[in-house]
Amino acid sequence: MSGSIAENTEPQRKIVELSERDVRDAARLLTVIAAAARPPEPAPAQGLTRDQLVDRAREQIAHRKRRTEHFPKGIFGEPAWDMLLVLYVSDGFAPETIRDLREQAGLTHSTAFRWLDYLESQQLITRKSHLADKRSAYVELTERAREKLDQYFSGYFHGDPIIR
């Protein structure tokens, strides 16, 4: 037989639909990869790195969650602080949606929005519209909040005890 069968050399293309959560997770992963390529920034006080400060914040979140295993959550009423901790730990990654922030801080919808309004009035957070979903928004720490949290966690295990 003369002649040949032409081979299809074009790659097959497949369309994959991603959920909003898949897109958020992919954005966070890419941000983590990009952050790993950068050297950590030193924190202003005591020469600690940003990673060391964030580890201190993570430890505080773990302690706060652990105490609710032994006591009713209602006696620990610091929703604004819980949200600031979550934002500080996730800072540098993809911004947090209000829904994710609310869930990670363990807050009801109304409590989260009330305290977000307060934090925004204190210039500690900013809210930005979601590009794809107009019903959603992102929350980020302001530079002012980041500096204050850096200072707080730089001295977190140091200083005089409050109660003697």
CATH tag, 43-154: 1.10.10.10
Predicted pLDDT at 42: 43
Give, in degrees to the nearest 5, the angle at Cα 28 between 26 and 30: 70
Phi, psi of 97 (to 5 degrees): -80, 160
Predicted pLDDT at 80: 94
Over its length of 164 residues, how does the chain's per-residue pLDDT go in tens digits?
555 555 656 667 777 777 777 777 666 665 556 555 554 444 455 678 888 888 888 998 888 888 888 888 778 878 999 999 999 998 877 678 899 999 988 899 999 999 999 999 999 999 988 777 777 888 999 999 999 999 888 876 555 555 55
How far apart are the C-alpha atoms of 150 and 9, rounded to whole Å? Answer: 55
Q: For tokens 């050399």, what's the residue?
A: 9
Nearest to 139 by CA among 81, 94, 78, 79: 94
Query: What predicted TM-score, i.e. pTM, was given to this entire model?
Result: 0.64
Predicted pLDDT at 60: 87
Q: Supply 121's token pair.
A: 């009035």
**β-pairing verdict for 125-129 and 96-97:** unpaired
